[in-house]
Structure 1
Amino acid sequence: MGSPTSFLLTIATLVVSVLADISVNLRFDFAPVAVTYPSTTEEVAAVVSCTSESLQIVARSGGHSYIANGLGGKNGSLVIDLSNMTRVDVDASSGTATIETGNRLGDVAFALNNQGRALPHGTCTYVGIGGHVSGGGFGFTSRMWGLTLDTVQSMTVVLANGTIVEPSSSSESDLFWAMRGAASSFGIITSIDAETFPAPSFATVYAYNWQMNYSDAAAALTQFQDFVTTDIPPEFGAEINLGKGDSEGTVSLELTGGWYGDSIDTLQSVLDPFLQSMPPVDGQFSGNGTYIDSVQILGDGVVNTKAAGPDKTDTFYAKSLMTPEEQPITLDAFEAYMKYLAYEGYNSETNWFMQFELYGGTNSFINSINVDSTAFATRSALFTVQLYASSSNYEPPYPEDGFTFLDGAADALTSTMGDGWDYGAYVNYADDQLENEYYLYYKSHYPRLVALKSQYDPTGVFDFPLSIQ
């Protein structure tokens, strides 16, 4: 049961709040046995020490797990909520930031920007940095700076036996490897020491929008795929967003992203080779030119989440595909995919979108890193494709045809590309319906992760759907 001191700390931080806690994804309604709210690493360790022999434990940083792992991913887990741990300190000489994992991305961006610094991370400002860094952490600055986990120099981690360690490349290096890509299965990160970067002197958010028949949309994506393998600069962040068209047989197509170069004129010169192959449209450029304003725009107007209040809920299902750069998607596969969206998607009663997020292409920092240097297993992706469908009113229940629609959309690509297409999946877009999930998420790294799991968590304290077994 642990020492009397740790037991008292546990009681002091324990809040039974089962009925008050809900997932951001209302498709799930799990009941944890209790939720604790520690304020220090030592209190986290005390809770783990007192309960690990009898309960399975999950940490909650922001609560945005797609499959509600922040509530345990099932009934009966103990949740350690880190929302009281929100320190962000920046060493002025080195630029290294110490960031506690109760912070959300917007609050991290706001605190770093006040010091003239920045970090690569996703656009949803409400996402907790703990889960984000555990599985990757992609944003429009990632082609320039890497994934969030690529910036981590060391961590403070509570292990399954309640001990506190500080893994880095020179200490507990095997654990440090596993924590950068599969952290939630091995321990609770209470803080990270991360390399930060000078905030860009200029930033803008851009968007170009088209309505297209499915055949033209397939050709456009093929042209974009060709374009990003030319010499594009790392300051160019981009994604193609697809949605329901105005009429059956059509799709909406949007090119959007962040630009962190010196001017809009330079951005337009970068984009010209692609735009010349597309129907002419006017681009939209948002923001006042500052980096933090671009973060706010991409975050639907929110940077300071503490002042803005809680995030919205949704009822959704999501999937992902990480497409291999060495095996580009064929025009035939794009045609099959776009035709599916133009007809099945048009008639679907879900609210859906698909995103082709640009990971690779020339000058991508993400893919310049040796694949075996971290547990993150896909350093050769050109795109990470997110497939996402909400219920018609964003409330439960979730319709059964929402699952079949998204699964069919993914299959339209994978089946046309054939069995030899070595795609992957992104664990931060967790999919509870995925088959062959451990290979798709972790590739050749999975056997090493299994061995390390038996070393660091032999009794399965940190166990949840999709955790390392």
Structure 2
Amino acid sequence: MQAAFSSCLKDALDSNSESRNIRIVHESTRQDVWAEATRLFNTRLLRQGQLLPLAIVYPESSLEISKCVRCAQQARIPVVTRSSRRVSGTYDFIGLTTDTGPSRPYPIVKGGNKVDRPLVIDLASFDGITYNEEEGTITVGAATTLERLGRVLDERGLMLPGGADETISVGEHALSAAFSPTTRMHGLLMDHLVSVKAILADGQEVEATKDSSSDLFWALRGAAHSFAVVPTLIFRPFEAPPLYDYEIVLLPHPTTNVTEAFKPAVEFFLMFQDYGDQEASHEEYSQTWSVTPEKGDEGWGLRIRISGRVAGSEDLCHAALIRLEAQLSDMGTKNFSRVFSRYERSTTERLIADPHSAHQEIRSGYLGEEQVNFYTKSLVSTQDVPRSTIVTLLTHLLKVAEEHNLDGNIDWSIDAPYIGGLVSHLKRYRGTSFAHRGTQIMWQITTRIVNSEDPRGKEVNLVDIANGIASIIKPVSGTYPSMPDTELSADEYPKRLWAQNYPRLQEIKAKYDPSDLFQFPQSVRLPSMKDAKPEAESFAAAPSQVLGSEHGADPLPGALWLFYVFFGSALALGVLWWSRRPGRPKKLRGD
């Protein structure tokens, strides 16, 4: 690490701090500390070598963040933020590059920008929660887990739409447009943000709201890592209704007589999809259609289930189950099981055996996180999926189960939450850079190697398996922004993640980060970059994505309205003058 840069970072972090944690970690730091600090959650990304940032810092105040950012700006070193290690889309991928060599021991990624070794700003110290009774708002540190935030809100009878995996940090979940089991009723977590405190590329701290730095507020909610470091978020929670979980499972089907075996499974999906389309469907219902491989008596089969969460009374949840069971019975399906329970928040409390270990010296909150060799591909559908696609998909999945699950070391799953429909609140919120408000179904395809030490797993290409499944699912209009796809090319990812919003994001990037300090392989690029502006038609929104202002689209900027008014007025005056100009015959002048 450059001596001047290292010295600058040391000066930036308060030497009088009473913290027992290590404040700066780099290659010259004790080996076990460096190894833990740079440990990847997704070990698949170790294909070509360890991901190595230039350094990792652990600031404990906004002032320290500002100083670290200024150090990086002076040394022209990229900055990336980490508020959670338990997520596939940020730290694990954020520093990868398409270039390799002796000075860059990075994995090779198919697409994205070339990125120098970055400074990672770890926000683990920003995990506080403060509730303002008078304002009805709650201030949350970016590294706070969804579980911890949920427990604090539970005590007050309040809630916010958090994700199914509550070990994710609030910062990652809110700013990356992650979905929730209650999205149909309450939108996204980002939709309940009142303001965010951000450290810009020049080290300045700003508070972005809908009224102050509104363009930045728009950009941060959907593309935050490209614009600033966000250590603190302020939300407005709402009264929490009772929550109930339900599940209906179709037991594994035999591999013989595929058409007959899949008939109830196909009808099961269409029933799930059709109900969401109905105006009478309750916004309180969430539903997810899932498929996993399972071995039956006659060979490998598919376990197919519909699970969901109901925000409301126990009777409302029972009504959902009765409706599903009745439709299954009408199809002649008797081989299924059901589960119903009051929602209970999961616990992830961990015991630390050695409080003086290298793990504890860095951040105890990261202990116990399993490393997994996996690949996830996420797709967004804004239209209903036809019957023929589901038949083809299930037939292909059965072949995948037969081929890849025989040795027991390859696992895969598909989760397809239905978050759209006529009554979904996802499309009712506006003013964010999240481009997929018209989403009907989000498809999450995950493939993983169960035991990375087993040599059988090394012969399987997880990406090929997932892409084979994904190629069948149509129509698809984008990629789930909370889970970046490492295989998207530099030309693909802008339109897949941000669609029609990307040009505006580039303009805001040029305003707040003109030196491109906050960069990583799938960051928003500056308009001046040679490859930054794909053809305009690439960003044309699909008809289902073009929503009226009452459904969440941003209104035209004020300056554009003024231009139209001025131009229209001038044109009208010109026509009037022409019709009444001197010397023109009265018969033609109309007076």
The code of the aligned residue for 2:82 comes to R
* From 266, 269, 289, the counterpart of 1:221: 269
Separation in 1, partners of 2:262, 2:416: 16
Q: Secondary structure at the match of 1:19?
A: helix
Describe the superposition over 1:124-152 as per-residue Cα deviations: whole angstroms up to 9, x where unpaired.
12111112111112111222211011111
Q: Secondary structure at the match of 1:246?
A: strand
Match in the other structure for 1:334? 390
Match in the other structure for 1:356? 416
Match in the other structure for 1:365? 425
1:49 correspondence with 2:70: yes
| 1:35-434 alignment runs, 5 A limit | 35-52=56-73, 53-67=75-89, 69=91, 72-74=94-96, 75=106, 76-200=117-241, 202-211=242-251, 212=253, 213-230=261-278, 231-247=280-296, 250-263=301-314, 265-278=315-328, 279-280=333-334, 281-286=336-341, 289=342, 293=344, 295-296=345-346, 301-302=347-348, 309-324=367-382, 327-349=383-405, 350-370=410-430, 373-393=431-451, 399-414=459-474, 421=475, 423-434=477-488
The code of the aligned residue for 1:41 comes to S
Cα offset, 1:233, TM superposition: 1.9
Aligned partners of 2:140 and 2:233 also within 8 Å = yes
Aligned partners of 2:138 and 2:237 also within 8 Å = yes
Separation in 1, partners of 2:459, 2:309: 34
- Runs of 4+ aligned structure 1 residues displaced above 6 Å come to 303-308
Match in the other structure for 2:548? none
Cα offset, 1:458, TM superposition: 1.8
Q: Secondary structure at the match of 1:332?
A: helix
Distance 1:173 1:383, change over 3 A: same
The code of the aligned residue for 1:268 comes to H
Distance 1:159 1:308, change over 3 A: closer
Separation in 2, partners of 1:128, 1:422: 28
Separation in 2, partners of 1:405, 1:178: 34
Q: Secondary structure at the match of 1:97?
A: strand
Q: Secondary structure at the match of 1:125?
A: coil
Q: Where in structure 2 are there 5+ consecutive unaligned residues?
A: 16-22, 27-32, 97-105, 107-116, 254-260, 352-363, 526-591
The code of the aligned residue for 1:333 comes to T
Separation in 1, partners of 2:465, 2:161: 32
The code of the aligned residue for 2:12 comes to L
Separation in 2, partners of 1:162, 1:378: 32
TM-score by length of 2: 0.71
Q: Secondary structure at the match of 2:246?
A: strand
Q: Where in structure 1 are there 5+ consecutive unaligned residues?
A: 415-420
Cα offset, 1:433, TM superposition: 0.7
Cα offset, 1:257, TM superposition: 2.1
Separation in 1, partners of 2:313, 2:135: 25
The code of the aligned residue for 2:267 comes to A
Q: What percentage of aligned pairs have identical amino acids?
A: 24
Q: Secondary structure at the match of 2:269?
A: helix
Q: Secondary structure at the match of 1:285?
A: strand
Aligned partners of 1:167 and 1:175 also within 8 Å = yes
Q: If you compute each CA radius of gyration, which structure gives the higher value, 1 or 2?
A: 2
Distance 1:72 1:330, change over 3 A: closer
Match in the other structure for 1:418? none
Cα offset, 1:88, TM superposition: 0.7
Cα offset, 1:204, TM superposition: 2.1
Match in the other structure for 1:417? none
Separation in 2, partners of 1:452, 1:116: 38
Aligned partners of 2:8 and 2:71 also within 8 Å = no
Aligned partners of 2:163 and 2:178 also within 8 Å = yes
The number of equivalent residue pairs is: 447
Most deviating of 328-337 and 275-284: 275-284
1:23 correspondence with 2:26: no
Q: Secondary structure at the match of 1:161?
A: coil
